[in-house]
Structure 1
Amino acid sequence: MDIDEPLLLFRAQFLQCIDHDFIRWPPSVLLQQPDAQSFLSKKLFNVSNPTSHPPASYEARVLKTLIAKIAKSVGSIAANNKALEDLSFRLASLQSMSPREGPITQLDANVTYNCIPQNSRLDTQESWRPLTVVESRSLVAGSKFTGHRTWEGALHLASYLVSKSDLVLGKSILELGAGAGFISIMCAKYLGAARVVATDGDERVVKDMRRNLLLNELETEELISAEQLVWSRDLHDKISDGPGFDIVLGADIIYDKGATEALVDTLSALFDAMPQVSVLLSNAFRFPDVFEVFQTGCARNKLRTRVIDYNMTPPAAQKSLFYTTSMPLQIIEIQQDQLRKKHTAGSTFE
């Protein structure tokens, strides 16, 4: 059957574990329809693929509200409604689980993102490009272990990359501070990158990232690999034997003063080795004083920063890659200034 866009929008929000209070629920007139109820029962809440399903605690809360909305829309015929009975049975099953049964806490959540442009139609065959990663959804910005989840800056950068279909195609990509690996996996899985190296300084994060590569059936190191890279320390050892990179990406990695100074040193070293490399960083302005450290460091190393003309998509208009826009988000391009270009013109990547 043809699936109405509000149902597909609800599916994308549910699988991305959007906060219950911000979900755009299908309208009552649609929830009355048997085909719509069947889609919800069989395609969303019948766990055919548990490795891409949200935590049970989250699913139960969403399902409880959905059942109430369906019951209200169908009125007196609710008692004889097979789909509603199936959904109610699923809710009871979720509520009976103990906290240790399966990935049902926010500490270990399967989160599925739909990697399509924000202006896409949802009712086409190309409108579902899922990417699932395991994340720790309870993390707070600024904590010591931020690498275990995907933040707003990464989703903003992802929206930009999928809107520029040729930007990554055929290119060699290095991601700094890749965290759960979402950006790197998307580049390899859907954007046609020729080679992707996803890096993070935390060994535990890299281990989890490799699990996410397998989760997305990306098992060939020729296409994508996850490696530990500590900024300003072991850049040369990690990439000096390779062919270099066309694009360096980073999202939500400017949040700690010491780490930001090391990041600038790493970017400077990358430009020394690869003068023609393109650097794009997505940043949420949570810490203005830290961003000032970044800008000062770039200026000291003769690196120019330019804000890309790409606006945040308002939440009410988002159809995929959902993220909040209460915090200003910008994509920054970093280039060498003319004096530095002359100095590095003869550099090679050895």
Structure 2
Amino acid sequence: MPSENSLDVLKRQFLCCYPLNLIDWKPLSNLTWEDQKLLIDCTHNNELNQKYPISSSYQLKFFKKLINHLEQSGVEIHDEIYEAFCNLNSQTTNDEKFSYKHYSLTYHDSVVTLKESKSFVADGTTGLCSWQASLALSDWLLHNTELVRGKSVIELGSGTGLCGFIVSKCCDAKHVILTDGSPKVIDILNTNRSLNFLPNTKDILSDDSKKCSILYLPWEECELVGTKKFDVVLAADVVYDSSEFDSLLGIIEHLFRLMENKVQMILAATVRNESTLRTFLDLLDSKEFIIEMQEAILEKRSYLFWDRSTPVQILKVTKNINLT
């Protein structure tokens, strides 16, 4: 029989659409009829999934994998598992453009829910779904909350908002501004902000929402930041297109000038191409930024489930405060 912890782990993996090949299916061997009922209730029948369903194609593949595993174990499969599989099989279409993901932080008794595109590239942007580096940065910040606790934070290229919402909800930041240069991304950020700061009434967000705001900010339009002051700059998965490096470097320099270099940046970069990353780091170095590699969070200590098949570097970027 699986432990309560095993079912909780499976629930959290299911709700955030953790890659099926990375799930440990062994604890699910020899499930009793009652165990299977608990499993279906904490996954497909989970209240979050019923209200804001995760990808139906992911659910279908999940139950196909589960049924195959149970059949190989010689276990009689619960009727509700078959029913869920059949219903999903009949409902799944290629027209589903958006679905949800739920990132559960059990130690904090908190959940971040995101509406996301099913496609990596949609409406001319890559910002409508969560990327590996955003998960890695969120995880790192959850282990280093002192960097943002009580601080004003701005995030560049926020995408669907995972990192910014986690910092706002779980890391006790004073105020967080999530930014992006795509109007489509700004729209989905506003939707996700509403999902994560429950309204007191139909039209009014909770007071906690005042700690989190959204700003349309193309990197080449630095003036849109105004005179706002920040203690911390965050950015995840923004270093992949060398044609954007000049504008990215420009907004970073602008934010540091606003704070007379009394600011630090935490940058998470998925290392898809070492040469591309190295080029950007050399640009930072040429502008006298100080770059410090941070120790990655080990999987066994991780608060979030994320695919580690491609390495992610976490970098702290600062500048000599005497350089004004």
Range of TM-score over shorter length: 0.7 to 0.9
2:5 is aligned with 1:20: no
- How do residues 1-350 of structure 1 correspond to structure 2 at under 5 angstroms? 4-29=4-29, 31-46=30-45, 48-49=47-48, 50-73=50-73, 75=75, 78=76, 84-97=78-91, 99=93, 105=96, 107-115=97-105, 126=107, 129-139=110-120, 145-217=125-197, 219=205, 222-233=210-221, 235-240=222-227, 242=228, 244-274=229-259, 275-308=261-294, 310-314=295-299, 317=300, 320-337=303-320, 341-344=321-324
Distance 1:331 1:56, change over 3 A: same
Q: Residue 104 of structure 2 contacts residue 110 of structure 2 at CA under 8 Å; is this kept in 1?
A: yes
Q: Residue 169 of structure 1 contacts residue 191 of structure 1 at CA under 8 Å; is this kept in 2?
A: yes
Which deviates more from structure 2 when the two are superposed, residues 174-183 or residues 285-294?
285-294
Q: How far 1:39 sits from its partner (Å)?
A: 1.4
Which deviates more from structure 2 when the two are superposed, residues 53-62 or residues 196-205?
53-62
SS at match of 2:134: helix
Distance 1:24 1:138, change over 3 A: farther
* Structure 2 letter corresponding to 1:217: F
Write out per-residue CA displacement over residues 231-271 of structure 1, whole angstroms, 9 at most, x where no aligned residue: 132x233341x3x1111100010111121221111111111
| Counterpart Cα distance in 2 of 1:336 and 1:127 | 33
Q: How far 1:153 sits from its partner (Å)?
A: 1.1
* Structure 2 letter corresponding to 1:163: H
Q: Residue 174 of structure 1 contacts residue 198 of structure 1 at CA under 8 Å; is this kept in 2?
A: yes
Q: Residue 28 of structure 1 contacts residue 73 of structure 1 at CA under 8 Å; is this kept in 2?
A: no
Q: Residue 56 of structure 2 contacts residue 92 of structure 2 at CA under 8 Å; is this kept in 1?
A: no
Q: Residue 268 of structure 2 contacts residue 314 of structure 2 at CA under 8 Å; is this kept in 1?
A: yes
Q: Residue 284 of structure 1 contacts residue 327 of structure 1 at CA under 8 Å; is this kept in 2?
A: yes
Q: How far 1:334 sits from its partner (Å)?
A: 1.0
Q: Residue 9 of structure 1 contacts residue 319 of structure 1 at CA under 8 Å; is this kept in 2?
A: no
Name the larger-Rg structure.
1
TM-score by length of 2: 0.87
* Structure 2 letter corresponding to 1:111: K
Distance 1:26 1:138, change over 3 A: farther
* Structure 2 letter corresponding to 1:198: L
| Counterpart Cα distance in 2 of 1:282 and 1:269 | 20
Distance 1:65 1:127, change over 3 A: farther
Distance 1:22 1:342, change over 3 A: closer
| Counterpart Cα distance in 1 of 2:223 and 2:141 | 27
- The alignment yields a C-alpha RMSD, in angstroms, of 2.6
Structure 2 gaps of 5+ residues are 199-204
| Counterpart Cα distance in 1 of 2:14 and 2:92 | 22
* Structure 2 letter corresponding to 1:52: Y
* Structure 1 letter corresponding to 2:67: I
TM-score by length of 1: 0.81
Q: Residue 270 of structure 2 contacts residue 312 of structure 2 at CA under 8 Å; is this kept in 1?
A: yes
| Counterpart Cα distance in 2 of 1:282 and 1:42 | 36
SS at match of 1:134: strand
Structure 1 gaps of 5+ residues are 117-125, 345-350
Q: Residue 57 of structure 2 contacts residue 92 of structure 2 at CA under 8 Å; is this kept in 1?
A: no
* 4+ runs deviating over 6 angstroms: none
Write out per-residue CA displacement over residues 199-249 of structure 1, whole angstroms, 9 at most, x where no aligned residue: 01111111111111111126355211111111132x233341x3x111110
| Counterpart Cα distance in 2 of 1:41 and 1:295 | 47
